[in-house]
Chain A
Amino acid sequence: MSNLLEAKDLYKWYGDHAALDHVNLEIPKGSIFGLLGPNGAGKTTLIRIINQITHPDSGVVYFNGAPLEREHIARIGYLPEERGLYKSMKVGEQAVYLSRLKGLSKLEAKDRLRYWFEKFDITPWWGKKVQELSKGMAQKVQFIVTVLHEPTLLIFDEPFSGFDPINATMIKDEILQLRDKGATVIFSTHRMESVEEMCDHIALLNRSQKILDGKLSDIKKAYRNNTYEAGLLHGQPAQLREELLAILPDTATRMQISGEELKLHVQLDNGMDSRSLLHMLNEKAEVLFFNEVIPSANDIFIQTVKKEAAHHG
């Protein structure tokens, strides 16, 4: 079994509104799985179903091959987007409480918490009340509580909101380390640069439906559209520009001149491939750089969602 989590034909209705409409999902073991989609696409509903906070109207979720059960809760760590702590409770006491709810014994919880508190440099805050903590500090505590029981599946909903860049990097490294130790991570976010950096698989939800999923590298390959960038050095850039315009498809070509350098951005049509383009450019000018423009996750996201929107009128 190579998938830790599989969702089959999930439907979830809120009154007349479908929150999930025939969603299928496969999350491979050991992957960092990006769950993307605009607001209201159904991400949170899906995550809540996995956490058994709500239940699907129909469809099944398999955890490690077995239908999801109450016992699996102890093997899942969930950091919700809407998260907080009891304000008037002490930090350490609260962390122990939340860990015990996940099934750790008091002793285990204290032991592991001590380790993590030292690692995150918040040991002095153990006896303080949560209301005295800064937002970032409270987020650290929440992160620790999420991972403390060493879950097989970690679910982070917008984990970086509320963190400054330094702490965000720290959390990111921790997530990668947890993955290396064998955990599978579901990662729901709007921040595409972190998707690019961390996720190996993604699924895109829009209007309650899954419209795209797979390995990020495969998706990117599929979204390659024969677009290239080049930097060219030429004595008469304006003249070069005229020459190129005559050859290249004019609607998909953009050029920019600064000094003697001309920057070219072109999407090739079927008449030309990258090799012949480079060959042609080499003959006309000195090529400073030449590379394929691979769509970013952000581009794919926007492009796909827009296409869907057009589809629905």
Chain B
Amino acid sequence: MDKLLLIIKREYLAKVRNRSFIVMTVLSPLLIVGMIAVVVFLTRMNNDQKKVIGILDESTYFDNVFITGPELAFVDLRNITPEEAKDSVASMGYYGLLHIPGDATIEAVAEGIQFYSAKSPSITVTGMLEMRIAKRLREEKLRQIGVSEQMVNELVANFEIPTTTFSGERSVKGINEIKAAIGGGFGYLIMMFIIIYGAFVMRSVIEEKTSRIIEVIISSVKPFQLMLGKIIGTSLAGITQFVIWILSAGVLGFLAFSFMGVDWQEFGPGANLPPEAMETIEEASASNEVLQLYVAEMLRIPWGTLIVSFMIYFTLGYLIYSSVYAAIGAAVDNETDTQQFMFPVIMPLMLAVYVGFFSVFENPNGPIAVGFSLFPLTSPIVMLMRLPGGVGADGVPWWQLFASIALLVVTFIGIVWLAARIYRVGILMYGKKPTYKELYKWLKYK
């Protein structure tokens, strides 16, 4: 036990003191926040630059149609020829010139409308112009048929379907997506952690092999102790890094965006949600009542169960995968040889995330979601996506949660046992690139 602690401490310090680890820890939040800030900044820069368009209207149909808005500014040009207009627009550095010729009917006028610009115009600009013209055309035609403007306005109808649960409570749309996204966030976190720090464990095992210290160490401690110490030490370093990232990204993000005066609403909780949920949130914020419904729904998420399950799934999932990574590291001599073994490890993780996003969001209690949340290699991610929907009668049945955890525990014991056996033999094998067949043989060595 003392020795295990010693190993954990060494592995932790070795990782935390590593220069590239420190650089990564410090730079990553800066980079990410910086990148987001640059993107936001550039977008705003772009929008700030209003495009000015000259309007040469020789007809009578388009008065009050081209009114300067947030994106486009319009300058009326009068009593000059189109050629003169083009010259002056070009010399003023305007974006382009819209020429509306004079004619008897609006149709004829529309036929002759022409846009001139230095380069081919952006589709956003032409789109906005076309929209205005089309609207004016429609109005004019309706007026000709005898439909008044008021009638036109009344014709426009919007409809939103009100939803209610069977028990009579008002339900809110998009809540399932929000819940799945919360679970998905946890699941994604587990996947990222496994991929990043599992690879660290693997590299650290390879380093012990190539530096030939391994035999010195395992003449003092059991290989299993070393493997376990390495996995725990590395994961503690990983947790340290994650906590630093989250804290510093939070602080930096806050500083950066307050400094740039970005509206916080844009980065509110809805920022990463699917579009339907976003819309719903936007509409919902309009009325306080709906907002309260959301709060109630959020409170109904079984946070206690969710967090406890996250801990369980995180720990077991990470231990399973990182022991496999350790075994891979032990089996090979250098990192390039790991490729053939990596794919089967990454695949269930990817599968879990994609199945989660495509199937669980849609139907958290459907057969695919249930299957993948029971299968031990995907359950840490998929089950966490299902859990925010609740546990018990209207959510994940308790038996499924327990079965999933029980399967995970059994798998954990089995895989760690297998990995430890491969590890034990592999760390003493030099200069061989093992095949799966050989790995199987290693399992049988005493």
Contacts of A88 in B (CB 8 A): 14, 18
In the complex, which residues 195-242 of chain B have their Cβ closer than 8 Å to any Cβ of chain A? 207-208, 211-213, 215-221, 223
Nearest CB to that of B208 among chain A residues? A86
Chain A interface size, under 10 / 10 to 19 / 20 to 34 / 35 or more: 20 to 34
State the 3 A-B residue pairs at the shortest beta-carbon distance, nearest first. A84-B212, A101-B220, A80-B215
Contacts of B6 in A (CB 8 A): 97, 100-101
B14 close to A83 (CB less than 8 A): no
B428 close to A48 (CB less than 8 A): yes
Contacts of A98 in B (CB 8 A): 216-217, 220
Nearest CB to that of B204 among chain A residues? A86
B211 close to A76 (CB less than 8 A): no
Chain B interface size, under 10 / 10 to 19 / 20 to 34 / 35 or more: 20 to 34
Could you write out 11 A-B pairs with CB less than 8 Å apart? A14-B445, A51-B219, A53-B218, A54-B445, A56-B446, A78-B219, A82-B212, A83-B212, A83-B213, A85-B211, A102-B220
Expressed in whole angstroms, the minimum distance between the Cβ of A54 and any Cβ of chain B is 8
Expressed in whole angstroms, the minimum distance between the Cβ of B437 and any Cβ of chain A is 10
Expressed in whole angstroms, the minimum distance between the Cβ of A15 and any Cβ of chain B is 5
Q: How far is the CA of A84 from the CA of B209 in the complex (A)?
A: 9
- Fill in one digit per residue for B259-300: 1 if any A CB lies within 8 Å of its CB, else 0: 000000000000000000000000000000000000000000
Contacts of A145 in B (CB 8 A): 216
- Fill in one digit per residue for A222-243: 1 if any B CB lies within 8 Å of its CB, else 0: 0000000000000000000000
Give the B-binding residues of A (Cβ under 8 A).
14-15, 48, 51, 53-57, 73, 76, 78, 80, 82-89, 97-98, 100-102, 142, 145
Contacts of B135 in A (CB 8 A): none
B446 close to A101 (CB less than 8 A): no
Nearest CB to that of A131 among chain B residues? B211
Nearest CB to that of A86 among chain B residues? B213
In the complex, which residues 14-44 of chain B have their Cβ closer than 8 Å to any Cβ of chain A? 14, 18
Chain A, interface SS category: loop
Contacts of B213 in A (CB 8 A): 83-86
Nearest CB to that of B212 among chain A residues? A84
Nearest CB to that of A84 among chain B residues? B212
Q: How far is the CA of A53 from the CA of B441 in the complex (A)?
A: 18
B211 close to A84 (CB less than 8 A): yes
Say yes or no: is B10 at the interface (Cβ < 8 Å to chain A).
yes
Contacts of B10 in A (CB 8 A): 89, 97
Expressed in whole angstroms, the minimum distance between the Cβ of A263 and any Cβ of chain B is 47
Contacts of A78 in B (CB 8 A): 215-216, 219
B215 close to A83 (CB less than 8 A): yes
Q: How far is the CA of A15 from the CA of B444 in the complex (A)?
A: 8
Contacts of B141 in A (CB 8 A): none
A76 close to B430 (CB less than 8 A): no
Q: How far is the CA of A145 from the CA of B446 in the complex (A)?
A: 29
B3 close to A86 (CB less than 8 A): no
Q: How far is the CA of A86 from the CA of B445 in the complex (A)?
A: 28
In the complex, which residues 65-102 of chain B have their Cβ closer than 8 Å to any Cβ of chain A? none
Q: With A48-B428, A101-B3 in contact, is A86–B14 under 8 Å at CB?
A: yes
A73 close to B220 (CB less than 8 A): yes
A80 close to B445 (CB less than 8 A): no
Expressed in whole angstroms, the minimum distance between the Cβ of A85 and any Cβ of chain B is 6
Contacts of A51 in B (CB 8 A): 219
Nearest CB to that of B217 among chain A residues? A101
Q: How far is the CA of A85 from the CA of B10 in the complex (A)?
A: 13
Expressed in whole angstroms, the minimum distance between the Cβ of B223 and any Cβ of chain A is 8
Contacts of B220 in A (CB 8 A): 73, 98, 101-102
Expressed in whole angstroms, the minimum distance between the Cβ of A86 and any Cβ of chain B is 6
Q: How far is the CA of A142 from the CA of B211 in the complex (A)?
A: 13
State which of A54, A73, A86, A97 has its C-beta within 8 Å of the C-beta of B211: A86
Q: How far is the CA of A179 from the CA of B441 in the complex (A)?
A: 41
Query: Apart from A54-B446, A83-B212, what are 9 other A-B pairs with CB-CB below 8 Å?
Result: A14-B445, A53-B223, A54-B428, A73-B219, A73-B220, A78-B219, A86-B14, A86-B213, A142-B216
Contacts of B446 in A (CB 8 A): 54-57
B216 close to A53 (CB less than 8 A): no
Most chain B CB atoms below 10 A, which of A54, A85, A101: A101
Nearest CB to that of A146 among chain B residues? B216
Nearest CB to that of A99 among chain B residues? B220
In the complex, which residues 304-343 of chain B have their Cβ closer than 8 Å to any Cβ of chain A? none
- Fill in one digit per residue for B395-408: 1 if any A CB lies within 8 Å of its CB, else 0: 00000000000000
Most chain A CB atoms below 10 A, which of B208, B211, B215: B215
Q: How far is the CA of A87 from the CA of B212 in the complex (A)?
A: 10
A80 close to B216 (CB less than 8 A): yes
Nearest CB to that of B444 among chain A residues? A15
Q: How far is the CA of A88 from the CA of B20 in the complex (A)?
A: 12
Q: How far is the CA of A145 from the CA of B216 in the complex (A)?
A: 10
Contacts of A57 in B (CB 8 A): 446
Q: How far is the CA of A165 from the CA of B430 in the complex (A)?
A: 28
